[in-house]
Amino acid sequence: RSGRSAALRARMEERLLGARFRYLNQQLYTGSSRDAARLFRADPAAFHLYHRGFERQVRRWPERPVQRIVRYLRRRPASLVVADFGCGDCTLAASVRNHVHCFDLVPLSPRVTVCDMAKVPLSAESVDVAVFCLALMGTNLQEILGEANRVLKLGGTLIVAEVASRFEDTSAFLKAMTQLGFRTVSKDFSSSYFYLLEFAKTGPPRPGPAPGLRLRPCLYKRR
Ligand code: SAH
C-alpha cells in the first residue's frame, strides 16, 4: 500500500513540476528579457525548476544543438573569443578550448556572469563569435540581437540555434537579420527539431523596426 501511495505521490509531483515548467517557459517566451531577469531574481528556485524541465525536454531530442556548435568551434581557431548568450549549464564553455564569456540570469555554474542578455558587460567589438543556443527567448529580440551586434567585431560570427517550429517565416527572418547588420553565411534546416543559422556581422544595425524578426513562443505540450 505504502509503495503504491509513494508512486502516486511521485507521479503527482512530476505532474506539478511539468505544469510549473510550462508556465515559467511561457512567461519567458511572452515577456521581455527584462521581465525574465526580474522573475528569476525574485525566485531563483523557479530558475532551477525551469532548468530541470528544459533538460527533460532536450533529452528527448536525437541531438543537442549545443553539440553542433561545439563541433563548429572545434573546427575553427581556439584563439577566437566567444560570448554565449543564455549559456545554461555552460556546456559550450566546458567543451571547447576558446575563451567563452558565459551569460545567464542565474548561475548554474561558477563560470556564469549573471546579467540580462540585452545588456552584457563586454566592450564593443570585443568578441569573434556570439552564440544563442535555444536562448532567443525574450520578446525584445531586436534589442538582444543588437547587443550581440555591438559586442561582435566586424566580420565576426553570430550563431543561432532555435527550435524549428518557432520560425513563422524564415526568409522574412533572414531579411530582418540583414537590417540588424548580419549577413547569412549558412543555414542548416536538416534537423526537424532545430534550425542552425550562421551569420557574419556586416556593420551596425540599420535604425527602424524589423518586422520580419518574429519567432513564435516555444510552448511545450503537456505529456
Ligand atoms: N544554451 C544552453 C541553455 C539553453 S536554455 C543550451 O543550449 O543548453 C535558455 C537559457 O537562456 C536559459 O538558461 C535561460 O536562463 C537563459 N535566458 C533566458 N532569458 C535570458 C536573459 N534575458 N538573459 C540571460 N539569459 C537568459
pLDDT tens for residues 13-40? 888 888 888 999 999 999 999 999 999 8
Instruction: Enumerate the H helices of the chain as residue ranges.
Output: 2-30, 33-42, 44-59, 65-74, 91-95, 141-151, 170-179
The pLDDT of residue 192 is above 70:
yes
Where do the domains of the chain lie, and which CATH numbers do they carry? Answer: 1-59 (1.10.10.2150), 65-201 (3.40.50.150)
Among the listed ranges 42-51, 77-86, 143-152, 170-179, which one has the minimum average pLDDT value?
42-51
223 pLDDT tier (thresholds 50, 70, 90)? low
| Contact 53 CB / ligand 1 (< 6 Å) | no
pLDDT tens sequence across 40-81: 888 888 899 999 889 988 888 999 999 999 999 999 999 999
Q: Report pLDDT for 218.
A: 86
Percent of the chain at pLDDT > 70 equals 99
| Contact 66 CB / ligand 1 (< 6 Å) | yes
Q: Report pLDDT for 73.
A: 98
Find all residues with CB under 8 Å of 202, minimum gap 6, and list them: 154, 178, 181, 182, 183
Taking the centre of ligand 1 as the mean of its atom positions, its distance from the CA of residue 136, in whole angstroms, is 8
| Residue entry with cell 549558412 | 186
Please give the residue that has the higher pLDDT: either 1 or 218. 218
1 pLDDT tier (thresholds 50, 70, 90)? low
The pLDDT of residue 114 is above 80:
yes
How many angstroms separate the CA atoms of 192 and 186, rounded?
17
How are the residues of the chain apportioned to helix, strand and coil, as percentages rounded to the nearest 5? 40, 20, 35
Best substitution site from 33, 137, 143 to test ligand 1's pocket, by max atoms within 8 Å of Cβ? 137
| Contact 104 CB / ligand 1 (< 6 Å) | yes
The pLDDT of residue 217 is above 80:
yes
Best substitution site from 21, 131, 134, 140 to test ligand 1's pocket, by max atoms within 8 Å of Cβ? 134
